[in-house]
Amino acid sequence: MENSSTGDFKTGTTTVGLIAGESVVLAADMRASFGHIAYDEESRKLYRITGKIAVTNAGSVGDSLTLVRFLRSQAGLYEIERDTEITPKALTTYLSNVLNANRYYPFSAQFVLGGVNNGPELFELTPYGGVLERKKFAVSGSGTEPAMTTLDQNYRVGMTEDEGVAVAIKAVNAGKKRDMYSGGVSIAVMVINKRGIRELADPEVQKHLSKLA
């Protein structure tokens, strides 16, 4: 749903981010709703910002896409002006300032931002610009409760990248099962490490889902 006509669409959403070894794993469901209607089952909720930073979004699609454009343009300007890549923490601070400056007419969007600098970094941002740095995992959206319960039960420090992917998919799948606003044809997954960003192909995701059946 990559167009300006999606402003009234909402992603009720289950999105998660977690740190696995030297990587950040981001995952999200794929349902967008229009009121009480499940309007789109292939909605995108993971966005690359730079070669080593990405975000998940929950809330208004139009607001989210506007802020994603802000982030991409700011990251590009930062690189041109300073001849270096922007860090996840610096980009989080920028987004926090934008959200807080608009707190009286807020963007209806919540983000999980993950990336790699010297090591993996993970942040949650509220619609009013609040920032929580997460050392293990982050969750957003209407499927937060079942996803967080799954992460509490399955996450452990020192997991491998593959183990982290499996746990992230399991957490989002729990949201899809129990939250009426989360769903979609599959689960989108991105892995971020020092080599860059890799988006999992659907057959790889389905392989993990088959183990949960």
Q: What is the mean pLDDT of residues 146-171?
A: 96
Judged by DSSP in three states, 126 sits in: coil
Domain boundaries, the chain: 4-210
Q: Return the amino acid letter for 203.
A: P
Which of 19, 87, 108, 92 shows the shortest CA–CA distance to 55? 92
**Mean pLDDT of the 97-120 span:** 95
Residues acting as catalytic residues: 13
4-210 adopts what CATH topology?
Glutamine Phosphoribosylpyrophosphate, subunit 1, domain 1 (3.60.20)
CA distance 145 to 131: 19
Q: Is 54 exposed, middle or buried, given 0-12, 13-18 or 19+ CB atoms closer than 10 A?
A: buried
**Confidence at residue 40, expressed as pLDDT on a 0 to 100 scale:** 75
- Residue 177 clears pLDDT 80, i.e. is over it: yes
pLDDT of residue 136: 97
- 69-96 pLDDT, tens digit each: 999 999 999 999 999 999 999 999 999 9
